[in-house]
Chain A
């Protein structure tokens, strides 16, 4: 079955540590996204990538980094510079291109990061 796989589902980290969240998709989608979700705040865009080896900052990119070396993979690193990293992180993908582009997103199951 095609879909998006995020790992780990739960992650604990000590302050000052970097952590990397994995996101893999086998939908052959061009674009991939990372969102952060906090209670009552909806989804906020961290980074997105429309093509391999290229990515753009979203609304809250500070303290995060990404890479897009392969079409299928878009890992997110939460660095020690992120002041309040405890949150639920969602990876998503979408078809990109001039034809049939609707913006519809397909989501993974999420990763919950807790900083101790």
Chain B
């Protein structure tokens, strides 16, 4: 079955420290990959996406992610976090050539808490 696993439900980190939020997916076919961010009581906003090409993808707010096909991973990273990065982050995958009728499948989310 196609699925997305976010390995950490909560990640506490101090301000200006680096952070990595982990995401693995299960699929034997081509995928599109996404990271979304959700601030409290708001909708989801796209951070970055991988469709094809370079495996290192840069997004908004200084975030980047690397697609690793052999490890079926798409981990999100930021070299130095700010208090304002405190939010919940969702990894998602879609399957352009079949599966889930092209709909996104979401992980359960990782809550990033940045402490001063």
Chain A interface (Cβ within 8 Å of chain B)?
4, 6, 33, 40-43, 45, 48, 56, 88, 90, 92, 96, 101-110, 112
* Chain B residues proximal to chain A, CB less than 8 Å: 9, 32, 34, 36, 41-46, 49, 51, 90, 92, 94, 96, 101-104, 106-109
Determine the residue in chain B with the shortest Cβ distance to A109: B43
Kindly list chain A residues whose C-beta atoms are within 8 Å of the C-beta of B103. 33, 45, 48, 103
- Rounded to whole angstroms, the CA-CA distance of A110 and B107 in the bound complex is 19
19 residue pairs of the A-B complex, CB under 8 angstroms, read: A40-B109, A42-B106, A42-B107, A42-B109, A43-B106, A48-B103, A88-B41, A90-B43, A90-B44, A92-B43, A92-B44, A96-B102, A103-B102, A104-B104, A105-B92, A107-B43, A109-B42, A110-B43, A112-B41
Residues in A whose Cβ lies below 8 Å from that of B44: 43, 90, 92, 105, 107
For B34, what are the chain A residues with a Cβ–Cβ distance below 8 Å?
103-104
Total number of A-B contacts with CB less than 8 angstroms? 60
* Contacts beyond the supplied A102-B96, A107-B43: 20 A-B pairs with Cβ under 8 Å: A4-B43, A42-B90, A42-B107, A42-B109, A43-B90, A43-B106, A90-B44, A92-B44, A96-B102, A102-B49, A102-B51, A102-B94, A103-B34, A104-B46, A104-B104, A107-B44, A108-B43, A110-B41, A110-B42, A110-B43
